[in-house]
């Protein structure tokens, strides 16, 4: 009888252990200059996974739990409460050894982002949130935006490549505020980003960190639905002395513009 009870207790204990997952609390650190996240796993289990814990009809609002092996990841950013749920998790490399996700804290698109990575046999959380006091932050902050199959934009402040795990901080127009505009187009080599602001096209190359602001006529801005076509007709891509592409007004009004030069 004692043996039967022992077996029953052992079975219950093993089932409880199987159902409950281990947790790992991470204190986030700052992004290092030139840091990338393209590590290769030493084994098949050394990868990140995520699962829906609170589904939503709008997939972007579904909440996820992020795990490494069988360990649930928790972010501890004092004095705020610990974070266990995240939005829109996205892998940063094909090996799945790094993942970026936004905190699901109910504050919407302005919630902070973290990169989860496994480097030097250590789990880490890297913060991707710069302070900003822009008056239009709530309007221009779009969270995670996919620019292409291999690149994403975070809060107008970071460009991340989702193939080789590179992170590029984007030069702000004003140091104390995120770019007060929305992504409008990119150069044909995809390295110059153009943001439509209140009165101009702010252009920044995330590889060279060069920027150029192109003021726009108020008449063009009045009809945003036709703005893209008007930009195609009146502006062209020019290379500066460093070979960086920027959009500038046509020097020749009769110049034939190749629309293939433009990418939304």
Please count the CA atoms within 13 angstroms of the CA of 79 that sit on its side-chain side.
0
pLDDT, position 60: 85
Task: Please tell me the distance from the alpha carbon of residue 139 to that of residue 57, in angstroms, as a whole number.
Answer: 23
Q: Token digits for 197?
A: 């602001």
**13 found inside a domain:** no
pLDDT, position 222: 81
pLDDT, position 8: 47
Return all residues near 162 (Cβ < 8 A) that are at least 6 apart: 90, 91, 92, 93, 149, 150, 151, 152
pTM of the model: 0.85
* Final residue before a domain boundary, out of 142, 170, 198: 170
**17 found inside a domain:** no
**6 found inside a domain:** no
30: number of Cβ within 10 Å: 9
Asked whether 139 and 106 are in contact (CB, 8 A), the reply is no
Same domain, 121 and 251: no
pLDDT, position 254: 52
pLDDT, position 171: 98
Helix, strand, or coil (residue 38): coil
Same domain, 188 and 131: no
Is the N-terminal amide bond of 237 cis, ω within 30° of 0?
A: no
Same domain, 157 and 92: yes
pLDDT, position 263: 53
Task: Please tell me the distance from the alpha carbon of residue 127 to that of residue 226, in angstroms, as a whole number.
Answer: 38
Same domain, 247 and 140: no
pLDDT, position 67: 98
Tens digit of each residue's pLDDT, the chain (264 residues): 555 554 444 444 444 444 567 999 999 999 999 999 999 999 999 999 999 999 999 888 899 999 999 999 999 988 888 999 999 999 999 999 999 999 998 776 678 999 999 998 899 999 998 999 999 998 998 999 999 999 999 999 999 999 999 999 999 999 999 999 999 999 999 999 999 999 999 999 999 999 999 999 888 888 888 899 999 988 999 999 999 999 999 876 555 444 444 455
**113 found inside a domain:** yes
The bridge status of strand 48-54 relative to strand 22-26 is unpaired
Task: Please tell me the distance from the alpha carbon of residue 37 to that of residue 179, in angstroms, as a whole number.
Answer: 25
% helix, strand, coil for the chain, step of 5: 20, 40, 40
Same domain, 186 and 166: no
């Amino acid at each position: 009888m004692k043996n039967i009870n022992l077996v029953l207790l052992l079975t219950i204990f093993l089932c409880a252990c199987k159902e409950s997952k281990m947790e790992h609390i991470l204190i986030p650190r700052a992004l290092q200059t030139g840091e990338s996240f393209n590590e290769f796993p030493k084994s098949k289990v050394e990868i990140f996974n995520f699962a829906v814990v609170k589904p939503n009809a709008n997939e972007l609002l579904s909440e996820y739990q992020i795990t490494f092996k069988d360990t649930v990841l928790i972010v501890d950013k004092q004095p705020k409460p610990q974070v266990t749920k995240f939005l829109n998790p996205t892998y940063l490399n094909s090996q799945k050894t790094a993942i970026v996700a936004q905190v699901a804290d109910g504050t919407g698109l302005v919630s902070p982002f973290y990169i989860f990575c496994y480097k030097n046999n250590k789990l880490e959380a890297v913060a991707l949130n710069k302070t900003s006091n822009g008056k239009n932050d709530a309007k221009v902050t779009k969270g995670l935006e996919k620019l292409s199959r291999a690149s994403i934009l975070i809060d107008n402040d970071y460009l991340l490549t989702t193939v080789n795990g590179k992170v590029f901080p984007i030069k702000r127009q004003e140091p104390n505020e995120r770019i007060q505009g929305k992504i409008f187009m990119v150069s044909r080599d995809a390295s110059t980003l153009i943001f439509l602001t209140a009165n101009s096209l702010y252009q920044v190359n995330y590889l060279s960190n060069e920027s150029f602001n192109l003021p726009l006529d108020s008449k063009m801005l009045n009809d945003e639905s036709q703005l893209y076509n008007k930009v195609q007709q009146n502006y062209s891509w020019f290379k500066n002395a460093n070979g960086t592409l920027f959009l500038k007004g046509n020097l020749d009004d009769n110049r034939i513009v190749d629309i293939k030069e433009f990418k939304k």
